[in-house]
Structure 1
């Protein structure tokens, strides 16, 4: 599950997926005077006039392309878009106003420890705000006598800031896996880092503090047979959500378990769970009594309370990957690939492939409950062609968008964010809403 929209410039040539939101937090140290930075010009007006849904005006907005773009993340609560670009061995983040494209602030240059691999970028929600995070993994220290140590280097920025060399609110280094394959992952409201097969470290982005968990000692609540194979599936601000995939059981020790909160149609012995956008969880069970459907639900991460659910046709080949999700800026609507939920009305809709319908996948949802995504027409292999679609969560009825070239990958603060490629040049294009 992803909690933030993040893309690298090499991947922007195709429509990506929205993975959650961003926000604001005061207190970042700056080297500027406190005024908005003037060292960086505003992004250019959009030269690309894409065929987009009628809700957007392609004559109003801004764009970035090529080396200006790098990796980017959307911060809806702050009304901003962050980019991370490289200059030699160093990287830095730039945060722009989502409506105007004007630079609000830039971060201090930092060194990538990954020796050529691009640092990761996340937006992590916590305590009602979102935080911009960059990370890399590599060796640091070492001299003629001492060996260098493998570490995760994580920088955490407050979304609100000003100046031309803003320091991270927290710089944290955590011992990394020796075998070099571990990654920092978004696990909900904290970051998760593997140190060994059994030892995991959670990082609180608000305080910069770390908590170490031994998965061998973690218990899945309500599952007496869950002695082995317990893993951290997600992290709330205070507690881990523990999953035993083999037993189909999950929950927060001492708080709740999936047997007690599973929807009535679900077989509670078949549960799985992933972190979702904005502190939510995405859960799935098989239908009870050997039914032909799956039960999907959005859960409150802290209480396990089911906020909305939907019955869904079982895919012919189940994916082992965590489903991506995106939350509307007002927090009412959530989409997760083939699923769409109205958390206020507790309605859920599924658009998995059936004998009569093509599979739909949604990347973005607006405060008005309009979700945008694509349908898939499969070829003889594992790929196919896509076509833009739109869904009104008020009715649950999708519709095709003939003549539309692109749908937004995010919608925030009165603008839609579009990813496009011309040849080998990636573009990020932002169009304002039509009045």
Structure 2
């Protein structure tokens, strides 16, 4: 499944996929870059582009960014802000700078101090992490450092963490963390209540974004609860970080849970093969889990409370011909009631779930944003799931019924704080356009 905030367009800054996304949920979208330092007091152009958008948005009110002001971007829904990371030429290559803008007005709240990544050939990555209900901007890069006349360079991660509610100009990160890395790049990801850094094949480091403190987990000596088949410790990993400790998983055995708290076998829905369980961090204190049903033709997807493992909503899906192992990204409506994750959509209050996986009769739908009134926006693939082009769709989470939007329409990649955020491309010219809700 595609991470919700991992979509890329034309880029001067080459950020790996929100996926990048690594990624996981909240990674950066790449939409262009520039060499000129953005002014913290520069005016933000009004939305000159009147896109064809759903009826709830007022195309006469809002703002837009393009060119040197844009770069890669992430949204901060709890903070009511958007952040961009742009590049500027400096001695020996490029330097990068974060700029955080108010989502409603587009005005700059703060700018970060210029910084460089560890690799001159690749831009740093940026994503949003949340801990204890507070948002943080995280940048990271990987490369070699420490070389001198006597010592060889060693691979390392450099992770910078910024509080989203900063102010001023040239803001330094609240925490700077450097950790060893393997020669083969693996992504730093948002693990839920902490960052996850894969420093070695059997070692993970969790970083608390609030304090910068690190906790090292040796996956060879920690295993999921209720997993007799995990005695050899092969395949054990840290899937997520929660307030109650790490979620430990073993993909081969299908086991996962928080040792001493809960386990996936106990909470697995009826009719599934417990040994097929998989789990990923979601947004807003949730986990996303998947099992294969005993008929082998269907999957069951569920949203879990990360603290207790309790199933908050689930849905039965047709099993796709070629399921991906990528971590599914997710997005919450601002009120926390509705959650979308690729082809899945859930109403957590009514405990309903909807699946729009590709079948023999239906095209696959993928959703990026959900509103407080229970409308989800996304796209349909018009051909097959590998080579098709997309068409805009919206979904009523009250009925579970999707509908196609008029051709040429654009749908928001995020909706919060009374605005919709649209990623628009005109040839090689990317734009970020923000429209307010009507009324």
TM over 0.5: yes
Q: Is the 8 Å Cα contact of residues 4 and 122 (structure 1) preserved in structure 2?
A: no
Contact 1:8/1:72 (<8 A) preserved: no
Choose which of 282, 292, 310 in structure 2 pairs with 1:286. 292
Offset at residue 409 of structure 1 (A): 0.3
Partner of 1:299: 304
2-structure distance, mates of 1:272, 1:153: 29
Contact 1:248–1:268 (CA<8 Å) still a contact in 2? yes
Deviations, residues 325-355 of structure 1 (Å, cap 9, x unaligned):
1111221110011110011111111111223
Deviation at 1:219, TM superposition (A): 1.1
Q: Are 2:197 and 1:193 equivalent residues in the alignment?
A: yes
In the alignment, is the contact (CA less than 8 A) between 2:4 and 2:368 conserved in 1? no
For the residue of structure 2 that corresponds to 1:316, the secondary structure is coil
1:26 corresponds to which residue? none
Structure 1: segments with no counterpart, 5+ residues: 23-36
SS at match of 2:275: helix
Please state if 1:66 is matched with 2:71: no
User: Which residue of the partner structure matches residue 174 of structure 2?
Assistant: 169
Confirm or deny: 8 A CA contact 2:140 2:157 kept in the other structure. yes
Question: What SS does the aligned partner of 1:111 have?
Answer: coil
Gaps of 5+ in 2: 13-17, 28-37
| SS in structure 1 of the partner of residue 68 of structure 2 | helix
Distance 1:217 1:65, change over 3 A: same
Tell me if 1:395 matches 2:396.
no
CA distance in 2, matches of 1:231, 1:98: 37
Relative distance call for 1:4 and 1:83 in structure 2 (3 A) is farther
User: What residue in structure 1 maps to residue 248 of structure 2?
Assistant: 242
Residues 408, 281 of structure 1: CA spacing in aligned structure 2 closer, same or farther, 3 A cutoff?
same
- Larger RCO: 1 or 2 (CA < 8 Å, sep 6+): 1
Q: Does 1:184 align with 2:188?
A: yes
Q: 1:368 aligns with which of 373, 377, 396?
A: 373
Say if 2:281 is the partner of 1:275.
yes
> 1:203 maps to which residue?
207
Which position in structure 2 is the counterpart of 1:34?
A: none
For the residue of structure 2 that corresponds to 1:260, the secondary structure is helix
Q: Are 1:252 and 2:258 counterparts?
A: yes
Q: Secondary structure at the match of 2:196?
A: strand
Contact 1:375 1:387 in 2 (8 A): yes
| CA distance 1:47–1:164, change in 2 (3 Å) | same
- Aligned residues between the structures: 415
2-structure distance, mates of 1:390, 1:8: 21
TM-score, normalised by the number of residues in structure 2: 0.89
Select which of 137, 144, 155 maps to 1:139.
144
Asked if 2 retains the 8 angstrom alpha-carbon contact of 1:392 and 1:398, the reply is yes
On the 8 A contact 1:359/1:375 being kept in 2, the answer is: yes
Could you tell me whether the CA contact under 8 Å between 2:2 and 2:326 is conserved in 1? no
Q: Give, in whole Å, the separation in 1 of the partners of 2:251 and 2:25.
A: 25
Q: Indicate whether 1:153 and 2:153 are aligned.
A: no
- Asked whether 1:420 is paired with 2:424, we answer yes
Identify which range, 3-12 or 114-123, moves more after superposition. 3-12
Which residue does 2:42 correspond to in 1? Answer: 41
Determine if contact 2:196/2:207 at 8 Å carries over to the other structure.
yes
Partners of 2:296 and 2:388 in 1: CA distance? 29
Alpha-carbon distance in structure 2 between the residues aligned to 1:204 and 1:94: 23
Asked if the contact 2:73/2:85 (under 8 Å) is kept, the reply is yes
Aligned mate of 1:350, from 355, 379, 382: 355
In structure 2, the residue matched to 1:27 is none
Who is 2:224 aligned against? 220
User: What secondary structure, in the 3-state scheme, does the structure 2 residue paired with 1:271 have?
Assistant: strand
Indicate conservation of the 8 Å contact 1:4/1:277, yes or no: no
- Which has the higher mean CA deviation after the structures are superposed, 140-149 or 359-368? 140-149
Kept in 2: contact 1:9–1:70 (CA 8 A): no
Report deviation, 1:11.
Answer: 5.8
* Structure 1 pair 53–359 and aligned structure 2 pair: CA distance change class (3 A): same
C-alpha displacement of 1:133: 0.6
Deviations 1:43-67 (A, max 9, x none): 2111211101111111211111122
Q: What displacement does 1:248 show?
A: 1.3
Q: What aligned pairs does 1:10-21 form with structure 2 within 5 A after superposition? A: 10=10
Residues of 2 paired with 1:199 and 1:64: CA distance? 41
CA RMSD of aligned residues (A): 2.2
Residue 385 of structure 1 aligns with which residue?
389
